[in-house]
Structure 1
Amino acid sequence: MAQAIITDSKLRLVFETGLNEQGKPIHKSKTYSSVKQSATADQLFSVGQAISGLCSYPLAEMNRNDSFEILG
């Protein structure tokens, strides 16, 4: 049976920095590496909210990106 072992976890915050000529939002992101792999969604949400509170742009999205190694 194959196993998936988590090898890396990152937190990505996406901010809305303005509007383009067509009036659509412009987004910029910041990725934080080496996130504790055991961190829960609630913990990451709290950290993301705290970080976004220090920024001048509104937070548009928050994503967790995990990388896995598949072993057979």
Structure 2
Amino acid sequence: MATADLRTIKLKMIFDNGVDEKGKPKLSSRTYGNINYSSTPDEILQAAQALAGLSTRPLWLVEKNDSYDINA
């Protein structure tokens, strides 16, 4: 049976950079690694909101990306 071992957790913050000439949203992102494995979704959101307060651009979306090693 295969197992999945958590390798890394990353926080991705996506910011609103306005719209392009066609009216489509322009987005930019920033990714932070070394997120504590025991962090709850609320803690991750609080951290993202605190970091977003340092930006001039509005925070559009917060993602938590987990990477796993799959072993046989």
2:28 partner letter = K
What are the equivalent positions in structure 2 for 1:1-72 lying under 5 Å apart? 1-72=1-72
Q: What code does the residue aligned with 2:70 have?
A: I
**Stretches of 4+ moved more than 3 A in 1?**
none
**CA distance, structure 1, for counterparts of residue 71 and residue 36 of structure 2:** 22
Structure 1 residue 2: deviation in Å? 2.1
Consecutive unaligned residues of structure 1, counting only runs of 5 or more, are none
The percent of aligned pairs where both chains have the same amino acid is 38
Q: Which amino acid counterpart does residue 33 of structure 2 have in structure 1?
A: S
Question: Taking structure 2 as the reference length, what is the TM-score of the superposition?
Answer: 0.93
SS in 2 for 1:42: helix
Q: Which runs of 5+ in 2 are unaligned?
A: none
Measure how far apart 1:24 and its partner are: 1.4
